[in-house]
Amino acid sequence: MKDILGKVVNFATQKREAEYVEARAQRLFKTMLTVKEGRVEAAKQGIENGAALRVLVKGAWGFASVGALGAETLTEAVSDACKMAKAASSRLKVPIKLVEAKAVQDKVVLKPRKDPSKVPVEDKINTTSSLSNTVLGYDNRVKSCTIDYLDVTGTTFFMNNEGTYIEQDNLYVWLGVSATALQADVLTSSRDAVGSTAGYEVFDVETPEIVGERVAKRAVDQLRAKPPKGGTFPAVLAPNVVGTFVHEAFGHLAEADFTLSGSILAGKLGKRIASNLVTFYDDGTIDGAFGSFKYDDEGVPSQRTLLVKDGVVTGLMHNRETAHKLAAKTTGNARAKDFRVEPLIRMRNTIMEPKDRSFEELVEGVKFGYYFKRFRGGEANLDGTFQVGTQEAYEIVQGEIGEPVRNASVSGNTLETLLKVDAVGKDFELWPGICGKGQSAFVCDGGPHIRVKEVLVGGSA
């Protein structure tokens, strides 16, 4: 592979006037299962080989992607990419430049205890079947259970014209499970996920029984939940919700492409935007975490990037283009879902740092408010308006956890809300997820419990 990519890179610089060239290639193998009420809808296995060629010509990006790995096809494709770049450069006002990155030569070999590509499909079917049985057997009000299992193994290759060549083993294991429960006219749903870059051994910890009970119990408990009141209330957020809040409400705005587009973090570097209890970082180096990797898709080493320290913005997440534009250092956040697409600035494991308070201390000061335990989804806008929907939440009444509430969602302005964080817990949890920004990316979000003086709660009906 090294020889072929080398030829292609040289061709673009020597014959096609490319200022910068990178060639990414992948040889990946996937297994997927979709299981509905214990029935395997289809056991799926597939091969995805392909290459992505990205070039800078006259200051504009050109990109070509092909599902092939032969030298001739790739040379044609890189030639195509140069043509595309030239076309794009015709109306360019500000040429694109990249920040310097150290040339790297490396081979990343993974040695999982249980390599998913060596686990027979039958075993994977058994794991999902016992998960399904746990969920459906938990209570007769549980009516459906859907499981999506995915594992990815294989190797990706990266070469550029600056002397970098990297071969990197890939390993991802993902399982998403959802359940619905029904009683009289009330229909509830819940979902949960397992994700790892360590190996199939993740199911030794997140066993089908543990995960199954978690998701089934939540669906059943919600049957007796009531809708929340709409309005402004104090709130305690659990790690799972804090993680989503950090990711959605802050993280996306700290992706330098969004910051440059005018997100509310533009021009905030070095300034206070949050209470001094708030420290955020994006860390791609946590062993086995779903958002970890050694090199990003521009060949830049992943790292732990401090974003907010004691309430002050200290950094953004970059690719080489935005790092140059904002005179920053590389952070290794450029990720492409596969060979079909260009890398974008993406998060890895995005985290709020724990402090010193116990859960009881967080709750005891609240006369009436809400405890948001488990997120369903979230989204933010560049103006800092965020929304995080929850699948599990409770009232807090006179400092005690009270009745469950259904489908509550939290909203507000990110910066106003971060200034209202008035207590941060000492616990910590990290949860896997799949983030969508045009392409999907495997990530983790996490943090401790926190308390916020007030948030807008959108009650249903």
Q: Please calculate the CA angle 139-124-291 and round it to the nearest 5 degrees.
A: 95
**189 lies in the site for other proteins, by CB under 8 A:** yes
Cβ nearer to other proteins, comparing 93 with 113:
93
Tokens read off for 304:
């732990």
With CB under 8 A as the contact rule, the residue among 12, 50, 274, 445 that binds other proteins is: 50
- Of residues 238 through 257, those in contact with other proteins by CB under 8 A are 257
**Which of the residues 193 through 232 are near other proteins (CB under 8 A)?**
227, 230-232
User: If binding is defined by CB under 8 A, does position 48 make contact with other proteins?
Assistant: yes
Footprint (CB under 8 A) of other proteins, residues 13-42:
34, 36-37, 39-42
Subset of residues 410 to 429 that bind other proteins, contact rule: CB under 8 A: 411-413
Total residues binding other proteins (CB under 8 A): 95
Find the shortest distance in angstroms from Cβ 310 to other proteins: 26
For other proteins, the binding residues in 131-170 under the rule CB under 8 A are 143-144, 146
Q: How many CA atoms lie within 13 A of 58 on its CB side?
A: 14
Binding of residue 93 to other proteins (CB under 8 A): yes
Task: Pick out residues in 322-351 that bind other proteins (CB under 8 A).
Answer: 340-342
Closer residue to other proteins, CB minimum distance, 165 or 245: 245
Binding status of residue 407 toward other proteins by CB under 8 A: yes
Binding segment toward other proteins, per CB under 8 A, in 276-284, 327-335, 351-359, 374-382: 374-382
- Between CA 263 and CA 386 the distance in angstroms is 12
Return the residue of 250, 386, 431, 442 that touches other proteins, per CB under 8 A: 386
Q: Which of 304, 377, 420, 454 binds other proteins (CB under 8 A)?
A: 377
Pick out residues in 61-90 that bind other proteins (CB under 8 A): 61-68, 73, 76-77, 80-81, 83-85, 87-88, 90
Would residue 327 be called left, alpha or beta, if left means φ above 0 and alpha means ψ between -120 and 50 degrees?
left
Minimum CB distance to other proteins smaller for 262 or for 402: 262
Instruction: Kindly tell me which of 19 and 283 has the beta carbon lying closer to other proteins.
Output: 19
